[in-house]
Every structure is written in structure tokens, then in C-alpha cells.
Chain A
Amino acid sequence: MSKGTEQQTDRSNGKVIKKLVLVVFAMFGFGFALVPLYDVFCDITGLNGKTNDVAVAYKNDGIDTTRTVKVQFITRMAKGIPWQFEPVINEILVHPGEVKFVNFYAKNKSKRDIIGKAVPSVSPGIAGGYFQKIECFCFTHQPLKAGEEVEMGLQFYVDIDLPSEINTLTLSYTLYEISAKVDS
């Protein structure tokens, strides 16, 4: 191969490599961009059973007394948190648009102070966007001293335009210990 052509290939090698390396970095970035994109996507489409994580004001569109929806409550303790945490009532019947208030009971059964956080999720996932929380203990942390117990309130309503095929909603709370994360 003559000198001339060799140099030429080297130059265009450089160009191709630059482009490919750019793609590599772009795709690495894209992996991370998927994280916010995922949240935005779930927000817009209301998929994933995520509910609002800041309080919403009650929007008075009337109450649909012709429909009754059953809302069930379940709780779960993440690994290692020594609390008792359960709904005071297990289920409640509501009309879409009607505001209800329910309580959850929590007790720190251990001998140390623990900060907990309850993360809600609604099933079926599509209903997450229609379950509106006006006030919820899950908007903040729950610091409980050793042995302390509390009742924590949740005020909510179900949107009047909840799809008609949905008659039962299950709201599930998973309780995590976040003491270490809050302290630091």
C-alpha cells in the first residue's frame, strides 16, 4: 500500500471512530435518561399504579351516587423494619367523587428510634391516576421513637371519571426504614 492511501484510511478511521465513540457515550447517557423518561411516561399515561406524591386539592365535580367502588387497603413491611403497620379498616365503599378519611396504625416495636416511609401503589395500575390523595402520611416521613405508636390519616377521593370497568381498587403501602438516609 502506498504512503498516500495509508494516510487517507487513517484519517477516515479517525472520523468513524469519533462518531462511534460519540454513539457509545450518547447511549450510556440514554440509559440514564431512561430514568426520568420512565417517570414522565408513567406520569402522563398514568400507568404503573403510582399515585400523587404531593397533596391535591379536592376538585368538586359532583358525586356519582349511581356507582359504588370498593377500595381495599393492604400493608407490607419491607425487609428488616421492626414495626407493626396495618390499616384500621381493611376496605371501604365509596362513590366516585366522595371524600373519605381512613386511618392506619403503626407501632415501632423495637428499642430504637426509627424513621419509616410508606410508599403507596394502586392496583390495577391504570387506576393509579384516578386515586387522589388530599392528605396522606405518605407525603412525609414517619419518625417513631422506640415503642411509640400512632394512627396516621389518609384523606382521599376517587375521580368521578374512573373507567367504568374498574369496580375495585387496591391501595398497597410498603413500609421502608429510611433512618440512615435521613440522618446523613
Chain B
Amino acid sequence: MTTETINESLDDAHNDDHHDHKMTGIKRWLYTTNHKDIGTLYLWFSFIMLLTGGALAMVIRAELFQPGLQIVEPDFFNQLTTVHGLIMVFGAIMPAFTGFANWMLPMMIGAPDMALPRMNNWSFWILPFAFAILLGSFFMESGAPNFGWTFYAPLSTTYSNGSTAFFVFAVHIMGISSIMGAINIVVTIMNLRAPGMTYMKMPLFVWTFFITAYLLIAVMPVLAGVVTMLLTDTYFGTSFFDAAGGGDPVMFQHIFWFFGHPEVYIMILPAFGIVSTIIPAFSRKKLFGYSSMVYATSSIALLSFIVWAHHMFTTGMPLFGELFFMYCTMLIAVPTGVKVFNWVATMWRGSLTFETPMLFSIAFVILFTIGGFSGLMLALTPVDFQYHDTYFVVAHFHYVLVTGSLFSIYAGAYFWLPKWTGHMYNESLAKWHFWCSLISVNLLFFPMHFLGLAGMPRRIPDYALQFADFNKWVSIGGFAFGLSQLIFLAVVIKCIKGGKKAPAKPWDGAEGLEWTVASPAPYHTFSTPPKID
């Protein structure tokens, strides 16, 4: 490619006049407005949160290793499940995707930086405070939130242990951070695309983040609204969700899930984008059905607003409501199926190689599909009466979130690590990470389907004896999966410190502007927009 050399020399020239602005030490990170620095901050933050949330999960699995109460009190157990869920959703998965957006979007669309660099700095740096409040509540008199990550009223109002205020403020800050991040992404994509890059020429990765940002802008304010109502109900005597004052606790669930269902797509659409970048690269073929992917992503996003009550089938909805939400939910499976079909078709007759990013992507396609199938089962109203609030639901959302979202994050991290660090990661260590994770994650989550079908309820610290064997295996899988993630930490640290020098484009099948700049990507890229033809 001819642009390659031109760009590199231009970037080098630019580097020199910018380098003196770059601060050193902690100040560099506190004051940075550089999209790559901020992307790095987001990614590290999310990994730390993954380990924190993971540590909580280890205690949960230790308690559930055998029936009976061994390690923790039931109330503390509830705090663990609640904070585990909140940390993983808002602290691990979402910031990881924002990190990818920051690092990759400007490079993929040929922009010099994000459109609103100073706001970008803010949206990251308020996040640690949110999680300090949330985690700090463990050490308060009240204890941490114990009402589930879904914080149903009246558990979080009338029956709150006193942690509601901490929880609400933490969520407000996370929400503000996400909204700022999303506005930045939309403005960047709308205004900073290189000349000639029309919407339908954008990489699919960019499309998925664009649509996700709109979803965030639409539903994070609703989350902010519902936690505000919770706050005033708990402390200021309003009765939004209090039947005594004319409110309605079921309404809480409607408002929460109006946010909550689009939220699950916020956590999976970027994953679709990452996998749609990686599978073509290692199949050495173009992505099959690019435009159908764009339309499928958009229709998933639109449909996600009219399916929320599939989380509420057992609240006593009238038959018409049950059917409406059942059919709408099943409708979403159509565009989702289109995507899975396109990934498989992309691999069909490709010249495949199986480097770690590809392994994680293939595992994603298969295991996410299992999660989609269990989702379809849950979408069937009559059977959901049996499955609701059992481990079957836990199995479902861990297949879509862990082997879905998290696996895509690992795939993306391995794929772009050479670009970020300038070194190739250690492939055999990475393969260890993959295989250990793959085996342990299935040992961890697959038996949960059977536990759920057999009737084991979720969110309990103790269980009936007949569930003992499966729970033991699940816990062993859990510990193994937890440990396996430390391999990833080792790979990343090794890769930052050294390793084989990475060329500008280490993957021969990869496409996109990010591969036209040197590895590691210079501090400033595309100060002059590239030409797209």
C-alpha cells in the first residue's frame, strides 16, 4: 500500500513537534486528552474491575461449593452477588468497550483524535470515583447493596440495608460517564471521518459502536431517572414504587427493564463489531454480507426497545402482553441469526489460520449462539414460568456475557495488542489462556443449565442436597476460570515489556486504516486525513 509509507513519514514529522507537550509520570495520565492514552486507561481500569468482580465471584462459588452455610452470612452473600453483577456490567464490560472505542475509532476512520478530547478525559476520570463509592460501601455500617444488580423496589427502598444512597450516587456517576463517552463517539464518527469515507464504507466495527452509542444516549438517562426515583422513595418520602402512597412496585420493573434490555445489547453489539473485524482477517476473505450486518445491527437496536417485559413474564401480565413480548423477543433472534450466518459464511472456504484472536472469535460464535438458544427458550412465556429466577437464567446470561462479550474483548485485545504495544504477544502463552478459559468456562456455566432446569433458584447461599454434585463441578470450573485470567495478565505484561517486534500489519489478512500506521501506533496518528478510495 502506498499510503502506508506516506502516512508514517507524516506521523513521524508530527510526533516531533508534539512530543514536548507530552507530560510524564502520573500527570500524563491525569491530564491526558490523547485518545490512545485514554483508551489504555479504560482498558486497564476494566481489567482491574474484572479481577475485582471475579474475586467476589470466587467467594460466591466457594460458598456454593457445598450445600449448607460455610463461609459467608446470607446477607453478605447477597451483597456479593449484587456487587459482582454491578461491577462486571458497569465496570468491566462497558469500560472495556469504551477503551476499544477510544483506541480504535479515530484510527479506523482516519481522525487525529476523538472529537471532544477534554470531555473524554472527564468521562474516564470520574469512573474510579463511582466504583470507589460502590466498593467502599462494603466497609460502611450498612454494608454494600444487597438487592441484586436489578435493584428491584421495594428491596432497594423499604427493605434497603441503608446502602441505597451509595448505590444511587455510584450509578449516577457511571451513567454520566457513559453518556459523555457515547456523545463523544457519535460526534467523532459523524464529523471526523476521513474524506471519502461514507457511512457505508465504515468498518463494521465503527458501525456497531455508532449504534451502541445511540442506545446509550437513549437509555442511560432512563436509568438515571429510575435510580433518582429510588433515592427519593427511600429518603424523601415520595411513593413512585410504594403502594401505600399510590405507587406501584411493578412499575419499577417496567422502567428498569426499559433500560435493562437495551443495556444487554449495549454489551453485545460492540462484541459483534470486534468479531466481524477478526473473522475476515483470519479467513482472508471480506466480511460476508456487510450491508446486511449493518441493517441487522440497526434492527436489533430498534427491536431492543420493545421486548423489555420478557424479564417480567411472571409478574401477572395479561395474556396479550405476554404474547406481544414473546413474539417481539423471538423476532430479535432473526437479525441475530443473520449475523451468525454471516460469520460462518465468512469462514466458509476461507484460508483459515487459528491465532488466538481467531480462536476466541470462533469460540464466541459457537458459545454466544448457545446463549442465544437458551435466550429463545426463556422467551417462550409458558416455559419461562419454570425457568425464571433459576440457574437457567444465570447460565443464559453468562453464556452471552462471558463467552460472548468477554471473549470478544479478549479476541480484540490479542488482535490489536501488537498495534498498541509494538510487540507480538507470546502466542503459546496466549493459547494456554484460550484453552484453559474455554474448558473451564464451560465447566463453570454449562451445568448451570441443568441446575436451573432441576429447579435451583438463583441468588441463594444454600441449596437442596440434590444439587450438590453439579455445584461442586461448577465451583471447580469457576476457580479454574478465575485463575486462567491471570495468564492473560501475564501475556499482556510480557507483551508491553518486550517480545518480537511487530510490523505495521502483523496479520496478513487484516484490513483497515489502523494497519497503515506503524506499530506501536505513534502518539498522534492521521493529523492529516488519509485518502479513501
Contacts and interface: CB of A to CB of B under 8 A. Distances in A.
Given A12-B191, A27-B221, A181 B237 contact: yes
B337 interface: no
B187 A17 contact: yes
Q: Which of A23, A28, A31, A78 has the most CB of B within 10 A?
A: A31
A117 B224 CA distance: 31
A178 interface: yes
Given A34-B254, A79-B158, A24 B186 contact: no
B255 interface: yes
Interface string A108-133: 00000000010101011110000000
B251 A31 contact: no
Nearest to B184: A17
Contact of B255 (A25, A29, A31, A119): A31
Overall SS of chain B's interface: helix
Interface stretch (B242-250, B390-398, B464-472, B501-509): B242-250
Q: Which of B179, B221, B254, B317 has the most CB of A within 10 A?
A: B221
A88 B451 CA distance: 44
Interface string B420-444: 0000000000000000000000000
A25 B179 CA distance: 11
B256 to A, nearest CB: 10
Interface string B156-175: 00110000000000000000
Nearest to A30: B222
A20 B217 CA distance: 7
B25 to A, nearest CB: 30
Contacts of B158: 79
Nearest to A120: B243
Contact of B528 (A1, A34, A38, A181): A1
A60 interface: no
Q: Report the interface size class on chain B.
A: 35 or more
B258 interface: yes
A48 interface: yes
Interface in B186-228: 186-187, 190-192, 217-226
Contacts of B248: 38, 48
Q: Which of B116, B187, B219 has the most CB of A within 10 A?
A: B187
Contacts of B271: none
Interface in A120-157: 121, 123-126
A35 B240 contact: yes
B250 A31 contact: no
A176 interface: yes
A178 B245 contact: yes
Contacts of B258: 34
B183 interface: yes
B254 to A, nearest CB: 7
A117 B244 contact: yes
Nearest to B218: A27
A126 B317 CA distance: 9
Contacts of A9: 115, 191-192
Contact of B186 (A16, A28, A79, A178): A16
Given A30-B222, A31-B221, A48 B183 contact: no
Interface string B303-336: 0000000000000111001000000000000000
Interface residues of A, number: 42
Given A28-B224, A34-B254, A20 B183 contact: yes
Contacts of A124: 316
Contacts of B243: 119, 121, 174, 176
Given A9-B191, A125-B316, A34 B255 contact: yes
A27 B219 contact: yes
A82 B455 CA distance: 36
A125 B219 CA distance: 29
Contacts of B244: 78, 117, 119, 174, 176-178, 181
A44 B528 CA distance: 60
Contacts of B112: 1
A16 B244 CA distance: 44
B324 to A, nearest CB: 12
Given A23-B217, A27-B219, A126-B318, A48 B187 contact: no
Contacts of B318: 45, 47, 125-126
B224 A31 contact: yes
A123 B255 contact: no
Given A21-B183, A123-B316, A176-B244, A13 B225 contact: no
Given A27-B221, A119-B243, A16 B226 contact: no
A27 B186 contact: no
Interface string A64-90: 000000000000001100000000000
B527 interface: yes
A53 B242 CA distance: 16
A30 B242 CA distance: 20
A180 B245 CA distance: 12
A27 B217 contact: yes
B214 to A, nearest CB: 9
Contacts of B221: 24-28, 30-31
Given A16-B187, A29-B225, A38-B251, 14 more contacts: A20-B187, A21-B183, A26-B221, A27-B222, A30-B222, A31-B221, A32-B225, A34-B254, A34-B258, A35-B255, A79-B159, A176-B244, A181-B244, A181-B245
25 contacts: A12-B191, A13-B115, A13-B187, A16-B190, A17-B183, A21-B183, A24-B217, A26-B221, A27-B217, A27-B222, A28-B225, A30-B222, A31-B222, A31-B255, A32-B229, A34-B255, A35-B251, A38-B248, A38-B251, A47-B318, A174-B243, A176-B243, A176-B244, A180-B237, A181-B244
Please provide the 4 A-B residue pairs with the shortest distance between their CB atoms, ordered closest to farther.
Answer: A31-B225, A176-B244, A27-B221, A28-B221
